[in-house]
A = this chain, B = another copy of it.
Amino acid sequence: MSEIAKTPQPPYYAVIFTSLRTEGEEGYGKMADLMGELASQQQGFLGVESVRDENGVGITVSYWDSPEAIQGWKEHALHRIAQEKGKSTWYKSFGLRIAKVERDRFFGE
């Protein structure tokens, strides 16, 4: 995965997911990989950028071509299971924001 997503011309949509992990692995990495894989196969998926630091703070931004695509991924059966486990086990807290990208610019590579 490239670090900076190759997205089309705006407008498109972003889901900004900022989270603080609990201590302990509890199967998180495996599920995160699986969800990344699954998300990328969904209709309307455009790309993803994801970073987590050594303090357990993470930001994942996924890009989508429409609100419907975001809603479809939210309701995906396996994703729902992951969401539940996220609240019960993996995350102390998170913020999730859905935003319409109006402009973008890029530098390098």
- The residue of chain B having its C-beta at the shortest distance from the C-beta of A70 within the complex is B103
Asked if A52 CB lies within 8 Å of chain B CBs, one says yes
Distance from A91 Cβ to chain B, minimum over Cβ atoms (Å): 7
Residues in B neighbouring A109, C-beta threshold 8 A: 92-93
| B100:A104 contact, CB within 8 angstroms | no
Beta-carbon contacts under 8 Å, A1-38 to B: 3-5, 7, 10, 14, 16, 18-20
Copies assembled = 2
Give which listed residue, B52, B87, B93, B101, contacts A51 with CB less than 8 A.
B52
- Given contacts A107-B91, A108-B93, A57 and B99 within 8 Å (CB-CB): no
Complex Cα distance, B93 from A5, in Å, reads: 11
Q: List 18 A-B contacts (CB under 8 A).
A: A4-B20, A4-B93, A5-B18, A5-B95, A14-B97, A18-B61, A49-B59, A51-B53, A51-B58, A51-B59, A52-B53, A59-B59, A61-B61, A87-B107, A91-B107, A94-B106, A94-B107, A95-B106
